[in-house]
């Protein structure tokens, strides 16, 4: 039985009260904390680093922290995020000279390792990397900002990634990030996604529990 996970992206949270926001969204039924790291180099935006991840752990956050690195290069930051309490670290293959080495580095530091595919990036790198991957993260917007619209062709990519994962026989999460809402999450689950990042859809509402509940209900309705 597939376990479906909801990972609110704190990019759309109120950063002036981040600890309370994370507590609220976990209390409202979220599974993972999605932590978007941007460097104004790989992507045209600048966000948060290991100190903020450590601050959430020190605040008492025990939920998995899913660190999405949109930085280049990636290796320098991997040990820092592992030490700061990251559970998973995902990075974009374009941002690492040596993808296999970066995946190994994540795992050597005790974290789940993932590759992130931009909307136009082919899945081909998985052919020789899937044995070191715990998460495949498909971007359904171009990385850099919250609140963008879902790019429709990524639906076919979800199905393609699901087929690759199933053929590998490995225990790999298929995560989708960007433009995920209450009204499309069911379709994405039916296509084979099992982990859903949602920023504006959750933090843009007053009642986090109601949104997350509606998301779970639509997933259940779509996958039977
Ligand atoms: C975009 C980030 C996303 C973003 C998603 O580069 O990786 O995690 O916060 O935001 P929404 O859910 O609003 O599209
Ligand atoms: Zn993200």
pLDDT of residue 50: 98
Can you list the residues of the chain whose pLDDT is less than 70? none
Residue 182 Cβ contacting ligand 1 at under 6 Å: no
The tokens for 105 are 């580095």
What is the predicted pLDDT for the residue at 224?
A: 84
Could you confirm whether 177 is annotated as catalytic? yes
Ligand 2 (ion): which residues have CB within 5 A?
Answer: 36, 68, 177
- Predicted TM-score (pTM) above 0.85: yes
The per-residue pLDDT for range 110-139, each reduced to its tens digit, is 999 999 999 999 999 999 999 999 999 999
The pLDDT value recorded for residue 59 is 98
Provide the token pair at 29. 């039924």
Ligand 1, atom nearest to 12 Cα: 9
Q: Which CATH class is domain 5-223?
A: alpha beta
pLDDT, one tens digit per residue, over 91-111 is: 999 999 999 999 999 999 999
Residue 40 neighbours by CB under 8 Å, 6+ apart: 46
Q: Quote the ligand 1 centre to 200 CA distance (angstroms).
A: 7
pLDDT of residue 1: 87
112 CB under 6 A from ligand 1? no
Kindly list the domain boundaries of the chain, sorted by start residue: 5-223
* Ligand 1 atom with least separation from CA of 43: 6
């Amino acid at each position: 039985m597939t376990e479906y996970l909801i990972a609110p992206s704190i990019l759309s949270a109120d950063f002036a009260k981040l600890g309370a926001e994370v507590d609220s969204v976990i209390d409202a039924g979220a599974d993972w904390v999605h932590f978007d790291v941007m460097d104004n180099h790989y992507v045209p935006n600048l966000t948060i680093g290991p100190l903020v991840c450590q601050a959430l752990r020190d605040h008492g956050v025990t939920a998995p922290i899913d660190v999405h690195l949109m930085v280049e290069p990636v290796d320098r930051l991997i040990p820092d995020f592992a030490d700061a309490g990251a559970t998973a670290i995902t990075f974009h293959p374009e941002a690492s000279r040596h993808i296999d080495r970066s995946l190994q580095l994540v795992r050597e530091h005790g974290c789940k390792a993932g590759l992130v595919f931009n909307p136009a990036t082919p899945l081909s790198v998985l052919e020789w990397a899937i044995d070191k991957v715990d998460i495949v993260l498909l971007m359904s917007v171009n990385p850099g900002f919250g609140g963008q619209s879902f790019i429709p062709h990524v639906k076919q990519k979800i199905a393609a990634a699901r087929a690759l994962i199933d053929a590998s026989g490995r225990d790999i999460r298929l995560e989708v990030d960007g433009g995920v809402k209450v009204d499309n999450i069911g379709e994405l689950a039916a296509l084979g996604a099992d982990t859903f990042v949602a920023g504006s859809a959750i933090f843009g509402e007053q009642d986090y529990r109601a949104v997350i509940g509606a998301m779970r209900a639509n997933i259940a309705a779509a996958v039977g």
